[in-house]
Structure 1
């Protein structure tokens, strides 16, 4: 199944699940959140000191000069709209709507926030918010950045050198934003003209440490100039400016964010399959039965201990990991493993069994960082299995090919789950490890 068809199927089934009224309250809220992610563009926030080149990055991302040089506006958010409109929030919190977009007219209103709606193709995939803080005061920039962190999925810190004051503001940003953070060294054309681009990038990377997902340089003036009046783009100029690398990285974040929501939605639907089917009986918790390849374990109970406001609590949940196949599926699932593959499977299963005790110890120890530890540990184990299966077994075994694909998909998804270090994400990460386990067991039992 293609990613597009999977996305369409999951989105439709989530809508039906929410409308059915059969989901438990917590699952229904989660499903609605996921639907919101699938329905809305990825939110990109542009942060940094005044004069850092945020407006030019905004213009580059949306493919049009929306905010020209020399125009001072407050925080601006661009979203898709069928017609151009500017909705200006004034100092008294009243709102004024202007048909069309005239930045000079907007500036004269002295708004404190502006929402621009424009029919630009890029805005169907991303919305862009340029965050401004008064006079570049570090405390004002901190407050504005914290406000923006709650309203964006990807953050780009635009800078001329990432100085200590900027480093301090970024250091206090939420980890989830840092995981999707870009550090953009702007004005790279001017720095390169002075022969100092390599030195500047080395210094910026050192200052950035591991606080960003990407550290890029961009000659924004050159990147914007690569877009011609007739709508064509000089790809060589765009590539040389760093604009192509930026756009590609943003599009990758968009695709990963959507795929993450699709995968989590698929897991949620599986977790609540019985509720959606209207079944009242409890989910069976029996292990794989050797000799019956159609019967697999239906669920595993996981308990997470967390601390919140000094109170220890435990969250227990059932993780469905497969289902009973019908007769046709059983026939197609029967496989014969070559000895090398069988040995690789057994080694992988022994590894899972051994490492499960480590996860159990984390789960048993109450602590507010338990979910994050569970996810990190699970990611490590899934990656080990992925690498091991890729290097061992008989390549002619179709079952091994499928197992490798499952492991690779699980590894990618587990990495994405680190974006949300909470109980739901921890449970979903564990379900990936268990799914690999039961697929290997099913092949061995066939």
Structure 2
């Protein structure tokens, strides 16, 4: 019996669809883009003024002193590779490839851009782009805009987020701002000088609407928390702010992958008739087909990591529909949407105690940092939910599960008019969730604050989707509600 996780199953099917050549040209381009998002590590860009601590933060994130203190390099991209290799782009546009990562040899070439390939475990999950520019606002602005097009998550490093930085960041695309963190570096120095509270308060006030989160971090303290024997001083790591950064990055990584998986799943279903022939060629033998039988709830949620390579897990196999003896005729639009919504509901939209698709939990530290470095593995032992928040979350999960059944019934009953009605109903449900979460739970919980923001973002997105009124838009709206449910489940399981 197959034990392939839903995320891996969707990626595998998308790979086959892209290679088949059966998709229309416009759809093929979208499919290739989604596949690239699923296959590649999440791209992090480190931005900020010169001397703001970007290089030191890179060393923390990858768990290795890639850029020693005092070394100055041009804009740098760090990616995974089985062996070390450096590609230097020179001022005349030519490239020189080195079979090592030798900083002296690199510096001697005076490159304008450097790509380092290294066998660091962290780089299987993320790639890093450190953007270097002269200490000139216009140059930094141009560099930041360039990086925004080449990254999924942005980390703006700062010592105080002054007016110049605010002006530069204010011009960044909204999509970048939605997936960005303001990193207040040198938090240890600020504490020593008695400036920590005032600086953090001022930055949060100036940046509250510009970033996903503002995170103070004592980067050198976080690096020092890694002991020579490979163990980590967890208390020092947490106190440095490193654990909070890693947790925040991992959530963005998971959210980005799950969004791509959902969109790919919808695309595959919309074009199932065109892809039927490759489904037959790649179908497993009968004795390997997963049978959609009830599954007892697991004692512990199993993680599906949110980037290209996901480890084996205990995720329940996807129910495989019985294949007809001959190709099926194309379904009416509403009927097709009903089937898709029911498939989603059967996999995800069930009560917490009988979930067939457990909510993902944060990745262990060793997955993001050096192989034996649990720095990023810092669990959320200090992130326990308050009873009021836990009670609110459980009510929300029950509400979403019940609404899913109603939405499926609406599509079933109203035929071709169902998708528009589902859009309207989903918009109302998400607005209810916004109001409920805004009035319930413990406001001191950072988890609740994040979930509230997610709910409000989902409400805005559904309002835009309502203009489409199509089957796919209705299903994507439902998917937003399910993503909110998954985020809450992850916090409950932490």
Scaled by the length of structure 1, the TM-score of the pair is: 0.69
Give yes or no for the alignment of 1:298 onto 2:345. Answer: no
Cα deviation code 1:79-128 (max 9, x no counterpart): 00111111111111111122221223212221100000000000000000
Structure 1 CA distance, aligned partners of 2:202 and 2:167?
16
The change in CA–CA distance for 1:346 and 1:157 in structure 2 (over 3 A counts) is closer
Corresponding residue of 2:90: 90
Q: Determine the C-alpha separation between the residues in 2 that align with 1:267 and 1:347.
A: 19
Provide the residue aligned with 1:175 in structure 2: 174
CA distance in structure 1 between the partners assigned to 2:404 and 2:226 by the alignment: 56
Q: Is the 8 A contact 2:269 2:340 kept in 1?
A: no
Secondary structure at the aligned position of 1:96 is classed as strand
Instruction: Determine the structure 2 residue equivalent to 1:405.
Output: none
C-alpha distance in structure 2 between counterparts of 1:17 and 1:158, whole Å: 41
Q: Tell me the equivalent position of 1:267.
A: 266
Q: Tell whether 2:413 aligns with 1:383.
A: no
Partner of 1:141: 140
Q: 1:379 and 1:227, CA in 2 relative to 1: closer, same or farther beyond 3 A?
A: farther
Q: Residues of 1 paired with 2:180 and 2:23: CA distance?
A: 34
Residues in 1 aligned to 2:98 and 2:480: alpha-carbon distance in whole angstroms: 55
Task: Give the secondary structure class of the aligned counterpart of 1:298.
Answer: helix
Query: Does the 8 A contact of 1:348 with 1:385 survive in 2?
Result: no
Aligned to 2:209: 210
Q: Could you say which structure has the greater relative contact order, defined with CA pairs below 8 angstroms and 6 or more residues apart?
A: 2
Instruction: Single out whichever of 31-40 and 92-101 deviates more from structure 2.
Output: 92-101
SS in 1 for 2:115: strand
CA shift at 1:433, angstroms? 4.5
1:279-318 equivalences under 5 Å are 283-285=331-333, 297-299=334-336
- 2:9 corresponds to 1:9: yes
Identify which of 463, 469, 475 aligns with 1:431. 475
| Distance in 1 of aligned mates of 2:52 and 2:479 | 47
CA contact (8 A) 1:378 1:430 kept: no
Aligned residue for 1:115, secondary structure, equals strand
Q: Kindly report the root-mean-square deviation, in angstroms, between the aligned alpha carbons of the 2 structures.
A: 4.1
CA distance in 1: counterparts of 2:426 and 2:109, whole angstroms? 51
- Specify whether residues 174 and 414 from structure 1 end up closer, same or farther in structure 2 by C-alpha distance, changes over 3 A only: closer
CA distance in 1, matches of 2:10, 2:455: 18
> 2:95 aligned with 1:47, yes or no?
no
Say if 1:425 and 1:86 are closer, same or farther in 2 by CA, change over 3 A: farther
Q: Which residue of 1 aligns with 2:357?
A: none
Which structure has the bigger radius of gyration? 1
Q: Which runs of 5+ in 1 are unaligned?
A: 286-296, 300-319, 330-340, 361-374, 391-407, 438-446
Question: Partners in 1 of 2:221 and 2:480 — Cα distance?
Answer: 48
Q: Offset at 1:43? A: 0.2
2:358 alignment counterpart: none
- So what's the TM-score if we normalise by structure 2? 0.63
Residue of structure 1 in register with 2:389 after alignment = none
1:75–1:114 Cα contact (<8 Å) kept: yes
Q: 1:106 to 1:378 in 2, by over 3 A?
A: farther
CA 1:432 to 1:221, structure 2 compared with 1: closer, same or farther past 3 Å? same
